[in-house]
Amino acid sequence: MARTTVIANWKMHGTQAEALALARGVRRLVGNRFPAVEVVLAPPFTSLETVRRALRGSRLHLSAQNLHWQPQGAFTGEVGADMLGDAGCSHVIVGHSERRRLFGETDRDVGRKLAAALEASLKPVLCIGETLQERRAGRMRRILSAQLSGALKGVSKSVNEILTVAYEPVWAIGTGKNATPAQAAEAHGWIRRGLARRLGEAPAREIPILYGGSVTPHNAPELAAVAEVDGVLVGGASLDPRSFAAIVSAFAANDTPRTEDA
């Protein structure tokens, strides 16, 4: 059974003082109150250390938002997987659509990053999702499959123990237009089948498939009620500790048997 997981992606927001206040707020409101939910915070690189200290001794996990596939070298502006582990990260987001769209990351790059994260024992959160144009052209399934293949090429079958996948339709990110429960269920079902084809049925069932895109405290309960949705990756609403805590709570409330075990 996939672990219920809720991840905050703070993107490029906040000074260290703001990150500290936000992390403390989440710790106060979420803390250890929802043991059935794995809660992860992904601040910008500059606030990793500040947030690491703020979370020390709690059940909350620390994630980076990106990494480079090389461990070190002349790659100005980049950060390698071991460096993130050293900074206290347990997780790293890989292939977010903003990285793909604004910074030209290809499926091949995403695959290399995923492999580098695994090599360094960081838990990758692989983001995949179609654009509105692709959805309208009936290409959603093909796009999701291609993104999965690119990312998982050459990855060992035991990746199920540490991989998380986030379905983030590009048209839903930061737009206030979230996928309906039916749309999320369809896409997640397709992704689960894709994982099963590549990794086997049983391992695929253990991989959390999160939904991301305009998740709010308002729509979280209906998304949490979808058996195929194992959690969420939250952008905008994660910048307010109360909103984020309400979303975690919605998933904790729904932590009855999920996915195929339902």
Which residues are annotated as catalytic?
96, 168
State the nearest-atom distance from the C-beta of 94 to ligand PGA, in Å.
12
Instruction: Decide: 88 and 49 in contact? Cβ < 8 Å.
Output: yes
- The whole-angstrom separation of Cα 189 and Cα 252 is 21
Instruction: Decide: 212 and 168 in contact? Cβ < 8 Å.
Output: yes
Among 82, 236, 240, 255, binds ligand PGA (CB under 6 A): 236
Q: Which of 14-22, 25-33, 116-124, 230-238 is the region at the interface with ligand PGA (rule: CB under 6 A)?
A: 230-238
Contact letters for ligand PGA, residues 3-42 (x by CB under 6 A): ------x---------------------------------
Instruction: Decide: 94 and 116 in contact? Cβ < 8 Å.
Output: no
Instruction: Decide: 143 and 130 in contact? Cβ < 8 Å.
Output: yes
Q: Which of 28-36, 108-116, 229-237, 240-248 is the region at the interface with ligand PGA (rule: CB under 6 A)?
A: 229-237
Residue carrying the six token digits 């790659």: 75
Among 174, 218, 225, 261, binds ligand PGA (CB under 6 A): 174
Beta strands in the chain (DSSP E): 5-9, 38-42, 61-64, 91-94, 123-128, 164-167, 209-212, 231-234
Q: Which of 83-91, 136-144, 211-219, 251-259 is the region at the interface with ligand PGA (rule: CB under 6 A)?
A: 211-219
* Dihedral angle over CA of 136, 142, 144, 148, nearest 10: -170
Among 89, 179, 215, 247, binds ligand PGA (CB under 6 A): 215
Is residue 177 a contact point for ligand PGA (CB under 6 A)? Answer: no
- Footprint of ligand PGA (CB under 6 A): 9, 168, 173-174, 212-215, 233-237
